[in-house]
Amino acid sequence: MSKIIISCAITGSIHTPSMSPHLPVTAEEIADQALGAARAGAAILHLHARNPDTGHPSSDPAHWAGFLPRIAAGTDAVVNMTTGGSAIMTLDQRLAAPKANEPEMCSLNMGSMNFALYPMAARIRDWKHAWEKPFLENTDDLVFKNTPRDIATILQEMGERRGARFEFECYDLSHLTMLKHFVDRGAVRPPYFIQFVFGVLGGMASEPETLTHLKRTADRLFGADYRFSVLAAGRAQLPMATIAAAMGGHVRVGLEDNLYLSRGVLARSNADQVRLIRGIVEGLGREVATPDEARAILCLKGRDRVAF
């Protein structure tokens, strides 16, 4: 099997500061954890920004500027900037920082969906910030908007105009169909890097049978022109990643997706999760890809062509 790319999602926009003291919030924390994950073996760093005072997800380019240059100076890992941002952001907000920084990679959500986080609110007793509880509770009426027009805009702004390649985040079988639609339109070119996303309420459950069906469907739709990776939210993170690695796919871990290292044990860093999955995939006989090998596998433009 080919070399395996480990992606690490450093902070995301789902978990709130009250859930773990180890969730990176400030620019220094995000940079430190990203660099630690890269040293542990992550070839791709999937990044979001936060307001350092409140921990709230942020689209402000100034918040991104607090950590992007330090990450670029400290590692050759691929920087993958979110275009999803947070489900409560407008598309213009979500694109502000990626447009300004022109990264090698961006995430791209391939369909609108319910994005229900409200069960998490019942697990927290002590809240650090006033925004956290209503943010979570109000997701019982939240639709994460990613229309075909939104997708086309991101492909044009980040792909055509700025040369980024994409982590196509597919939370449902229909999202593969939407990707095929844009392939048929000539809006994307191979290889397509598909991230199968499991465990978000509103998307697919973390079930091996579903992953197998997705892989067969992607084989039929895209033939040899795609690479796939798997992320699973919460406790299914490691089991689903292990299955993906055994199937010849790539893997994603990180505190965006799961706050724990094992049952009841919080991960103290993103690097902890990277080291754990690295040991598992190497035990399966897979060799971990370096950042430059990941660039070659995914046909990225190179770190010398970014704007940070």
Tell me the per-residue pLDDT of 109-124, one tens digit each, with 9 for 90 and over.
999 999 999 999 999 9
In the prediction, which pLDDT does 2 show?
Answer: 87
Maximum Cα interatomic distance, the chain, rounded to a whole number of Å: 50
pLDDT band with cut points at 50, 70 and 90 for residue 1: low
Distance CA 105, CA 277 (A): 22
Q: Taking 90 as the threshold, does the pLDDT of residue 175 lie above it?
A: yes
What's the mean pLDDT in 28-57? Answer: 98
Residues 142/115, Cβ–Cβ less than 8 Å: yes
Report how far Cα 5 is from the mean position of its chain's Cα atoms.
13
What's the mean pLDDT in 265-291? Answer: 98
Residues 220/204, Cβ–Cβ less than 8 Å: no
Torsion of CA 130, 132, 134, 140, to 10 degrees: 180
Residues 59/93, Cβ–Cβ less than 8 Å: yes
Residues 42/274, Cβ–Cβ less than 8 Å: yes
Strand partners for 230: 196, 251
> Tokens for 139?
């997701």
Q: Taking 90 as the threshold, does the pLDDT of residue 9 lie above it?
A: yes
Distance CA 4, CA 216 (A): 20
Rounded to a whole number, what is the distance in angstroms from the first to the last CA of the chain? 34
In the prediction, which pLDDT does 179 show?
Answer: 98
What's the mean pLDDT in 144-154? Answer: 98
Amino acid identity of residue 32, one-letter, is D
What's the mean pLDDT in 25-38? Answer: 98
What's the mean pLDDT in 46-60? Answer: 98
Distance CA 276, CA 227 (A): 22
Report how far Cα 19 is from the mean position of its chain's Cα atoms.
19
What's the mean pLDDT in 299-303? Answer: 98
Three-class DSSP labels, the chain: CCCECEEEECCCCCCCHHHCCCCCCCHHHHHHHHHHHHHHCCCEEEECEECCCCCCEECCHHHHHCCHHHHHHHCCCEEEECCCCCCCCCHHHHHHHHHHHCCCEEEEECCCEECECHHHHHHCCCCCCCCHHHHHHHHHHCEECCCHHHHHHHHHHHHHCCCCEEEEEECCHHHHHHHHHHHHCCCCCCCEEEEEEECCECEECCCHHHHHHHHHHHHHHHCCCEEEEEEECHHHHHHHHHHHHHCCCEEEECCCCCCEEECCEECCCHHHHHHHHHHHHHHCCCCECCHHHHHHHHCCCCHHHCCC
Which residues does 304 contact at the CB level (< 8 Å), separation at least 6? Answer: none
> Tokens for 208?
């091996």
Q: Taking 90 as the threshold, does the pLDDT of residue 196 lie above it?
A: yes
Distance CA 250, CA 227 (A): 8
pLDDT in tens, 211-221: 999 999 999 99
